[in-house]
Amino acid sequence: MTTGYVFPLSAAQQRLWLLQQIEPASAAYHLAGAVELVGPLSVEALGRALNAVVDRHEALRSAFFLRDGAPVQVVVESVEVPLPVRVLRGPDSESPDARRRLLAAEVEEPFDLTRAPCLRASLFRLAPERHVFSFVVHHLLADGWSLGVLVREIGACYDAFASGEAPQLAPLPIQYGDFAIWQQETLAGDGLA
């Protein structure tokens, strides 16, 4: 088992975890996003920005295990999310349908929930100053609303790193594991009744 901080799963995570156990190869609970980037791009700054956001949010560094018969999330201290660059040429770079097929293939690849991160990213180079940044995250780690947060924070960190500065994001008052603990405590005993 990976070592790190152990938290219970929230009620929503418990449902998703169970559904994933029933169909482990299913991509039904993968959330994906893609952002087209036009103009000069520092791949190094984008990779640093992605990993700074993963470091910031414990949920993005979580893996999932059974402990005493119950699923738990383990937040690992540090993970590195690679950012492979795929250069698209010919019809793949010009055709939106071809790009959608490539992105769909990224979404379909299963996650091993016992290995953090359950998030992956790719950068597709369509032309020297035209890219598509794509990412896939398991729904156990994020929801649709939090994908917007992820994109905004990566953008803010990218701007800072590309300018040679440190990102200036406000500290997070709580992490998702804190919410899961609060929810489990609230639902214990008479709370659930």
pLDDT in tens, 93-139: 677 787 788 888 889 999 999 999 999 999 999 999 999 999 999 99
At 97 the pLDDT is 83
At 99 the pLDDT is 78
**To the nearest whole percent, how much of the chain has pLDDT over 90?**
74
- Number of other residues whose CB lies within 10 A of the CB of residue 5: 14
More confident residue, 184 or 68: 68
Confidence of residue 192 (pLDDT cuts 50, 70, 90): low
Over residues 78-94, the mean pLDDT reads: 87
C-alpha torsion sign, points 66, 68, 70, 76: negative
Confidence of residue 193 (pLDDT cuts 50, 70, 90): low
Q: Shortest CA distance to 155 belongs to which of 167, 164, 171?
A: 167
Torsion of CA 171, 75, 47, 89, to 10 degrees: -140
Torsion of CA 164, 79, 130, 153, to 10 degrees: -60
Task: Match 């169909």 to its residue by tokens.
Answer: 23
Q: How far apart, in whole angstroms, are the C-alpha atoms of residue 148 and residue 116?
A: 21
At 44 the pLDDT is 98
Confidence of residue 41 (pLDDT cuts 50, 70, 90): very high
- pTM score of the predicted model: 0.90
